[in-house]
């Protein structure tokens, strides 16, 4: 994730969020999901903002008056009737995050396996040297 590209997706201050010019990437995302899912726009927007929060928590800090600096966090609660596409919207927005995490887990597992193999080789070499010395 490239942080400057991410920041361009965030709303511009002092403009209504619903105005396309205030946040064109978010507007396009909401409009695209609205066409694709027929879910309520507010549900899509809250889900998108929650996903942004998830993505930015480890990268962006905010200063809260009287509290100090901390990670950006957003707690969203969607209450909607069955069939309003809550799960569909969440799945579509979360899919890239889940896929990224899956790739990261695979890369980590490969690095751990490589480390363990190298450690075993090193320990075997240490045993050989100790036998030769002792």
pLDDT tens digits, residue range 47-95?
999 999 999 888 888 888 898 998 888 888 888 888 889 999 999 999 9
Q: Of 35, 80, 32, 71, whose CA–CA distance to 53 is shortest?
A: 71
Its pTM stands at 0.68
Between helix 86-133 and helix 24-37 the angle, nearest 10°, is: 110
**Structure tokens, 1:** 């994730």
H-assigned helices in the chain: 3-7, 24-37, 41-56, 86-133
pLDDT at residue 32, as a whole number = 94
pLDDT value, residue 128 = 95
Residue 19: closest CA among 27, 30, 31? 27
Give the chain's mean pLDDT. 86
pLDDT at 64: 84
Do 84 and 130 contact (CB within 8 A), yes or no? no
pLDDT recorded at residue 18: 60
Which backbone phi and psi does 11 adopt, to 5 degrees? -65, 150
Model pLDDT, residue 11: 56
What's residue 51's pLDDT? 93
Q: What is the DSSP letter of 21?
A: G
**34, exposed or middle or buried, with CB in 10 Å at 0-12, 13-18, 19+?**
middle
Please give the pLDDT value at position 19.
63
- Indicate the SS3 state at residue 70: strand
């Amino acid at each position: 994730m490239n942080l400057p590209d991410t920041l361009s997706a965030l709303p511009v201050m002092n403009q209504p969020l619903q105005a396309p010019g205030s946040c064109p990437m978010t507007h396009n995302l909401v409009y695209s999901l609205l066409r694709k899912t027929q879910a309520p726009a507010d549900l899509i927007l809250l889900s998108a903002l929650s996903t942004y929060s998830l993505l930015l928590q480890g990268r962006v800090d905010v200063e809260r008056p009287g509290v100090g600096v901390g990670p950006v966090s957003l707690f969203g609660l969607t209450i909607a009737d069955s069939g309003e596409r809550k799960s569909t919207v969440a799945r579509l927005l979360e899919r890239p995050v889940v896929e990224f995490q899956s790739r990261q887990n695979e890369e980590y597992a490969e690095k751990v396996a490589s480390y363990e193999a190298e450690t075993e080789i090193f320990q075997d070499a240490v045993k050989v040297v100790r036998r030769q010395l002792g």
